[in-house]
């Protein structure tokens, strides 16, 4: 029940003193705020504040340029932000950085060297898509090309396993997340007057069946708090051999039926991993020679970055080829870079295999192939990536008989197949194995980067299996850490 106002001057003075003491006490609290990837899988932005210092872990954008949150003012002043730490290059974790620069951010952006190189390529692609949307849909540009290039100058490359001091009170260490090339787990350390608080940010954790990257690090250093992703928090992947068999089966089926295998792929990681799988199938004569087209200039640029950082790739990936240059090259494979080369694919008679972006069929060259072949009952569309809610790929996966592409209604008569084992994300079992190692010290586990059902199921499993206190934050929610 609220207290009545007392006009006694002395008491009012006392009340002010108490208020100041409370303010001082609260000022010694670490705060964490969730400004994205809260009960959703995009826009990762986690702000950690202590005294007058602010650190942003990831600064993701929403892939759909029409999403209103891309245009909202940030809930914090970018001019007051001195540090951004990126877990990896995907734009739903990195793409807001040029917007923050535009609004006054001039601090450092910490990331691994491969992440920095991948950001340069992905940001350019995102800018071109944004510019195209601005012209066609009248949307404002979030930033200019010059602002994007100036943002790239703020990067500070950091390697795994080295402690980096941001300030006398705050430092961090990168660990290998095994998600995509250069992806990192972040252990953030905040020194208070009486103790050190450790906050672990998983970023996106990798699939343990990844044939390119070393396994995700299990953090032996105990954390007080953890923010963990939950993209596949309620699902399980096929194992490595089953997924390869399913890929082989799909190729053999379109060859028998003289159809087209369409594979919408993410340009980063999914493309490179499937290319290595196809390499093995071809080298070991598990599939007949068939024309395979990698129809994505973006994927081609990113594949070159993989060639640059072969030391980030595990040795086992090279067992089918003699050197790194052959890792993503094999008989029958053609990289189509120009528009003319892409259009020339149409002249190649089936059977054929086409890999193209985007992974959720929301843009890119895959739309042209889907427009041409979705209605063909001899063809297959093979879903190998996570399909966000309301995306074209999600509609196809959920059984839509007709979809709209380029303002034209297209019948879906082809076979729709899915392989979840190629996901670059850990599934529920893998996530729980990773969380299990934190169970003895952790005070609270924050579940993010997953649709609400997935996040809540992972939270429940973590409570039931390990007795961990869990939270599934809402967008904009702030917590004080002890």
Q: Give exposure, 367-405, as e/b (b: 16+ Cβ within 10 Å).
A: bbbbebbbebebbbbbbbbbbbeebbbbbbbeebeebeb
pLDDT of residue 423: 86
Each residue's pLDDT tens digit, 64-75: 878 889 999 999
Q: Which pLDDT belongs to residue 26?
A: 56
pLDDT in tens, 191-213: 998 899 999 999 999 999 888 99
Looking at residue 321, its pLDDT comes to: 62
Q: Provide the percentage of residues in the chain whose pLDDT is more than 70.
A: 93
What string of DSSP letters covers 224-269? SEEEEE-TBTT--PPPHHHHHHHHHHHHHHHHHHT-EEEEE--TTT
Taking only the tens place, the pLDDT of each residue in 142-178 is 999 999 999 999 999 999 999 999 999 999 999 999 9
Nearest residue to 191 via CA among 227, 228, 221, 166: 166
Task: Kindly report, residue by residue over 441-457, the tens digit of the pLDDT.
Answer: 999 999 999 999 999 99
The pLDDT-based confidence of 118 (bands split at 50, 70, 90) is very high
Q: Band of the pLDDT at 137, cuts 50, 70, 90?
A: confident
HSE-up of 83 (CA within 13 Å, CB side)?
A: 21
Average pLDDT, integer, range 111-128:
96
> For residue 24, what are its two tokens?
């001082």
Which pLDDT belongs to residue 390?
86
Q: What is the pLDDT of residues 94-117, one digit of tens each?
A: 999 999 999 999 999 999 999 999
CB 119 within 8 A of CB 94: yes
């Amino acid at each position: 029940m609220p207290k009545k106002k007392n006009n006694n001057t002395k008491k009012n003075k006392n009340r002010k003193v108490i208020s100041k003491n409370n303010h001082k006490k609260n000022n010694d609290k670490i705060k964490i705020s969730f400004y994205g990837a809260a009960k959703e899988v995009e826009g990762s932005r986690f702000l950690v504040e202590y005294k007058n210092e602010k650190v942003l872990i990831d600064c993701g954008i929403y892939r759909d340029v029409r999403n209103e949150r891309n245009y909202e003012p940030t809930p914090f002043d970018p001019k007051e932000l001195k540090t951004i730490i990126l877990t990896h290059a995907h734009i739903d974790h990195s793409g807001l950085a040029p917007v923050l620069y535009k609004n006054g951010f001039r601090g450092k952006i910490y990331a691994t060297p491969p992440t920095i190189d991948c950001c340069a390529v992905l940001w350019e692609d995102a800018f071109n898509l944004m510019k195209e949307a601005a012209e066609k849909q009248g949307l404002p540009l979030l930033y200019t090309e010059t602002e994007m290039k100036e943002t790239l100058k703020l990067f500070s490359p950091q390697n795994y396993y080295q402690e980096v001091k941001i300030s006398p009170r705050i430092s961090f260490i990168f660990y290998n997340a095994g998600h995509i090339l250069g992806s990192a787990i972040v252990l953030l350390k905040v020194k208070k007057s009486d103790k050190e608080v450790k906050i672990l940010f998983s970023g996106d954790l990798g699939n343990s069946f990844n044939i390119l990257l070393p396994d995700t690090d299990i953090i032996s250093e105990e954390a007080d708090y953890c923010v963990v992703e939950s993209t596949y928090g309620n699902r399980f992947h096929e194992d490595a051999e089953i997924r390869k068999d399913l890929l082989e089966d799909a190729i053999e089926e379109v060859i028998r039926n003289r159809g087209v295998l369409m594979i919408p792929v993410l340009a980063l990681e999914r493309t490179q991993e499937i290319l290595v799988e196809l390499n093995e199938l071809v080298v070991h004569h598990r599939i007949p020679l068939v024309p395979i087209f990698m129809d994505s200039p973006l994927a081609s640029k990113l594949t070159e970055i993989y060639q640059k950082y072969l030391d980030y790739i595990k040795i086992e990936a090279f067992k089918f080829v003699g050197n790194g240059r052959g890792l993503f090259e094999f008989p029958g494979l053609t990289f189509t870079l120009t528009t003319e080369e892409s259009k020339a694919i149409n002249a190649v008679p089936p059977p054929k295999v086409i890999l193209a972006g985007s992974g959720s069929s929301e843009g890119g060259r895959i739309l042209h192939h889907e427009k041409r072949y979705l209605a063909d009952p001899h063809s297959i569309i093979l879903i190998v990536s996570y399909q966000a809610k309301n995306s074209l790929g999600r509609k196809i996966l959920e059984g839509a008989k007709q979809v709209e592409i380029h303002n034209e209604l297209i019948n879906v008569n082809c076979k729709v197949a899915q392989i979840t084992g190629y996901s670059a994300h850990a599934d529920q079992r893998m996530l729980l194995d990773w969380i299990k190692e934190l169970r003895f010290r952790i005070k609270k586990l924050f579940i993010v980067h997953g649709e609400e059902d997935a996040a809540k199921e992972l939270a429940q499993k973590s409570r039931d299996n390990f007795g961990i206190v869990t939270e599934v934050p809402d967008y904009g929610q702030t917590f004080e850490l002890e």
